Amino acid sequence: MISSHIALSIVMPAFNEENRLSSTLDEFSQWVNQNLDINIELIIVNDGSTDKTEAVVQSYIIKYNWIKLINTTHVGMMNAIVTGIKNAKYDLIGTLEADSPVHPKYFISFLTYMDENDIVIGSRFLGKEVIGKSLMRRIISKMNSLLFTFLFACPIKDPQISFRLYRKTCIQKILPILSLKHDGLKSSEIAVKAHSLGFKLKEIPVDYTHNIDSKAVPGGIRAIKVTVLATLALFQLWFQSIKEYRDGVIPFCPVYSKIFIDYIIGK
């Protein structure tokens, strides 16, 4: 049941989004106006943009006092999201991308699961529609999902989607032990760390509209390079999780292959 006194901090990273941000913020403000019983703060983290992203955000801050802006140097989308999470004031923290591939209305349905869960994650692989994604991108996403579910016992099929709702007490315990250098795989690492710490995760199907100009997933030859690096980072996370379990950083080992794990940690 949704409480009548809900407050949400929602983090949106933005890198060179001057051409798309206005439509996203118009959609978001319309959604806010439809849910006036919920206290909402939108934290936009400008990830070192070199275009007029900051100016666009400032023009909306003048109109809406629930929008906040944080400027950072350009590191990557997940680094920007982490920065926003650390500055969130409410106990429930949502995250979504600047091109809004998932409508913010799903945060309302996510709230119904927060009494029994610590993280609710949107999923593109549980039956809802994915619009605008090429066959190649679909194959890459599916392969990443299959590899993740093969390597990790974490009950999530879409570990890379950014549309999530966190309980602050949960994510505050996870952020200090994130260790992957690969910015793009931090979404997967958060899910793995949450599972290994005993937090409860719930995956909910969402409609997803892919933008061909998305900054999160490049196209062409670069997409192949990014995919290879992400795959290597996923294996790094696998080995790293075993080491962290051995060293007592995490209480439960979140990976499969127990015989190999026991051999690695010397049992």
Task: With a cut of 50, say whether residue 92 has pLDDT above it.
Answer: yes
pLDDT score for 115: 94
Top-confidence range, 57-71, 205-219, 235-249: 57-71
pLDDT score for 223: 66
Which range among 168-172, 193-197, 243-247 shows the weakest confidence by mean pLDDT?
A: 243-247
**Tens digits of residue pLDDT in 16-55:** 999 999 999 999 999 999 998 999 999 999 999 999 999 9
Task: With a cut of 70, say whether residue 213 has pLDDT above it.
Answer: no
Q: Tell which wins on pLDDT, 114 or 219.
A: 114
**Integer angstrom CA distances of residue 38 from 32, 90, 177, 185:** 8, 12, 32, 31
pLDDT band for position 254 (cuts 50, 70, 90): very high
pLDDT score for 184: 84
Q: Say yes or no: domain 7-135+155-214 is CATH 3.40.1010.10.
A: no
The pTM assigned to this predicted structure is 0.89
Three-class HEC string of 95-131? ECCCCCCCCCCHHHHHHCCCCCCCEEEEECCCCCCEE
Q: Where are the domains of the chain?
A: 7-135+155-214
Which range among 72-86, 143-157, 162-176 shows the weakest confidence by mean pLDDT?
A: 143-157
